[in-house]
Amino acid sequence: MALEILDTNQEQSFRDLCGPADPEISRLLRPNTLRALFGKDKLKNAVHCTDLPEDRVLEEERYAFLTEWFDPIAAVLRCFQLFYYPNDGSVEMFDMKKQQKFLKRIKYDDLDPKDLFIGNRVKVFSRQLNLMDYGDEYTANKLGSKKERTLALIKPDAVTKIGEVLEKIYASNLIVTKAKMTNNSVHFLSSGPVVAMELMGDEAVSAWKKFLGPAESSGAQREAPQSARAQFGTDGIRNFGHGSDSLAAAARELEFFFPSTIGYGPPNTATYTDSTCCIIKPHAIAEGLTGKILNTISEAGFEMLALQMFNVDRANAEEFFEVYKGVVPEYNGMVNELCSGACMALEILDTDQQQSFRDLCGPADPEVSRLLRPNTLRALFGKDKVKNAVHCTDLPEDRVLEVEYFFKILDG
């Protein structure tokens, strides 16, 4: 039932009567409000009311999310409602504890709508917000109804093609939210390293199965010549990859590789020997450049010994880049970039003590790289000295230390 309510108070007195969106919070802080009295949960919270005065007459489309942000100064986890307006790309934030507006509505071009899914981390004016839940039923129905997660497993015979695979996944409008190279593949009757990934997208289970094609590679070549198994598989076992058969199977298989509860998934494949560290930065991941970067690394003759995606918090980013503090003016920007979203850490086999992989990365400034070393990673994929596509170990003595930081400390 829709109601038009006479409300001449521009401070939104009727909204005060409705109370906070979460009935539990309403019952705690505002026990006489409509949502406190009649609401059940954040979706079945009895009533919807207009949040902003300017939206009263004609409400425009708006997505709402419940988010968490760790305040490093106060060492406190703060809860906000994040509102995103797709019509003009503006955002607004509401402090859940203080029950007051934290950020007035303002246009923010750096937030991509495709990054708005539960479990992701987004940056809003330098704050790393974890998207914990949908903030209202409309957003849940609009954005969450078709969103699924599934396991994508790249078998040993196709691991060397991982860059090309990621490019095709990106072109299929699926998002890689987790990834890890591991030797533990007993569940899939294969030996050697595999790459396990969590894919998220509209009807991801069926989308990934269609991407794979028929289980037998020869059948795939006849029936679905554009499928991955047709292009990369050889038979019914060495058939490129595995996909979950259902949502239930996906949940079970994802829990095995990426446990959500206490415990560890299968071990990574890091060797910590004759190797160096490379990190594909969050901006490059978000721009869909991961596959291109991995292809360039492989084409240059380098072998990837370990691969894993991480969401690095600010404290870890500061610790990892501590050697640059007070040395390079971009230190704060480097920290902000590393913790702005998911990154991908790589262990690269590199026995050349003259740092040949570092040569492939190129100078830290992409403009200088494009002038002097146009075929390097930073020249090809970098934007500026902070968003320069990749980090690589600078000093020979730090190679193993940086690999250990990600694959032993953070993965542990």
Domains of the chain as residue ranges with CATH: 12-53 (no CATH), 63-144 (2.30.29.170), 147-257 (3.30.70.141), 275-409 (3.30.70.141)
Q: What is the pLDDT of residue 332?
A: 92
Q: What is the pLDDT of residue 309?
A: 97
Q: What is the pLDDT of residue 57?
A: 43
Q: What is the pLDDT of residue 91?
A: 94
Q: What is the pLDDT of residue 235?
A: 77
Backbone angles phi, psi at 76, to 5 degrees: -130, 140
Q: What is the pLDDT of residue 186?
A: 53
Q: For this structure, is 391 an active site residue?
A: yes
Q: What is the pLDDT of residue 281?
A: 97
For residue 155, give both structure tokens: 């078998």
Q: What is the pLDDT of residue 30?
A: 86
Q: What is the pLDDT of residue 59?
A: 58
Q: What is the pLDDT of residue 230?
A: 86
pLDDT average per 10 residues of sequence, the chain (412 residues): 72 80 87 93 89 60 91 84 93 92 91 84 86 89 84 92 94 93 64 91 92 84 87 81 92 91 84 95 94 96 96 92 91 92 94 79 96 96 96 90 95 80
Q: What is the pLDDT of residue 185?
A: 54
> Which candidate in 48, 187, 242, 391 is catalytic?
391
